[in-house]
Chain A
């Protein structure tokens, strides 16, 4: 049976803000566990802010993300055979107590819960999952849980799967496999058909994901860039004392791009042009720049709009 994925138009997370929750005393033990909370946090940061998620741009322009924060919960621990409902209760309790932030207005937050080594989900068959619950304000709270076999690579690979599936299909209504694509039950998503083929991106272990564009499982990463990249994006002419606005779109949000405007009409008398830039994040992955150019002279002026892309986005931790 061929693998085909279709976007059914439901919710997606365009620009994920991941909040990490380390659940259980074991995460705070001395000596610290393997992996440590710091190691997991570093891996997730590498996953969400490196090139790995850039391949999701093919799915409605989903982009990268960043770590919103983290907390370690020592007041309770997950039981062997924990349930989704228990995870949801944990998250809602932390939100209600003000321990972790509530949903952002655009609902781009993903709460990601990490369990201690050896603690399994109910039934034991699943090692990670993402889903949602509905809070008292009728908002859908997106969350994932990730189990832990004591190796950083496995935790990182499971998390990469769950975070990207949360972005493309947080509620089971968006990017889904056509009937017959998956053999198992539940939501058939872009990580499910690629389990077992992994790689390393930005120093983190990750799972490959289905690329509908390529019709195969791919470990997404940045293409090769050589910075700085410079060029003329467009040229134009302004009548005397005219101001006009242009836009240019589909600029990767992971580029740091700057704009200048240069007259190509000689004038020995004085300044000719001014410009200003407005910015729009048209999707998680892409930016539109709106460039307003003003001719200060009383004669027509030709000009170039030049870009300088100096480097890759680096959100830090």
Chain B
């Protein structure tokens, strides 16, 4: 199991932003999760979804859309886990 943070960024209030990350080996089983880096004591801050592209026979591109459901900018980090 390998874990890491692939990128950090900021999502504007009440908006969705999309990032991509490429050249992931097609043989690896990769899971994604996104965590806010901005503390908010009042409620949920973000949701996310992942789209996948087989960019070549060996390389995968992940497209990660992150939605900020609050009225303030939210800093985020996209975390991966390579399960095997």
Contacts and interface: CB of A to CB of B under 8 A. Distances in A.
B5 A311 contact: no
Contacts of A314: 3-5
Contacts of B33: 256-258
Contact of A312 (B3, B43, B45, B69): B3
Residues of B contacting A: mostly: strand
A291 B81 CA distance: 21
A282 B39 contact: yes
B78 to A, nearest CB: 11
Contacts of B11: none
Given A14-B39, A256-B33, A287-B35, A316 B44 contact: no
Interface residues of B, number: 27
Interface in B56-84: 69, 73, 75, 77, 79, 81, 83
A181 B45 CA distance: 40
A279 B36 contact: yes
Interface string B35-56: 1111111011111000000000
Contact of A279 (B2, B44, B81): B44
Contact of B35 (A106, A247, A281): A281
A227 interface: yes
B43 A280 contact: yes
Contacts of A199: none
B41 A282 contact: yes
Given A281-B35, A281-B45, A311 B3 contact: yes
Interface residues on A, range: 20 to 34
Contact of A280 (B45, B75, B79): B45
A256 B3 contact: yes
Given A258-B33, A280-B40, A287-B35, A315 B45 contact: no
Interface in A142-198: none
B1 A311 contact: yes
A105 B41 CA distance: 16
A280 B35 CA distance: 8
A284 B36 CA distance: 10
Contacts of A257: 33
Contact of A290 (B1, B35, B44): B44
Interface of A: 14-15, 66, 104-106, 227-228, 247, 253, 256-258, 276-284, 287-288, 290, 310-316
Interface of B: 1-5, 31, 33-41, 43-47, 69, 73, 75, 77, 79, 81, 83
6 contacts: A66-B5, A278-B47, A284-B39, A310-B31, A311-B3, A315-B77
Given A281-B37, A282-B40, A313-B5, 15 more contacts: A106-B39, A106-B75, A228-B1, A247-B44, A256-B3, A258-B81, A277-B47, A278-B69, A279-B45, A280-B43, A281-B35, A281-B38, A281-B45, A314-B5, A315-B5
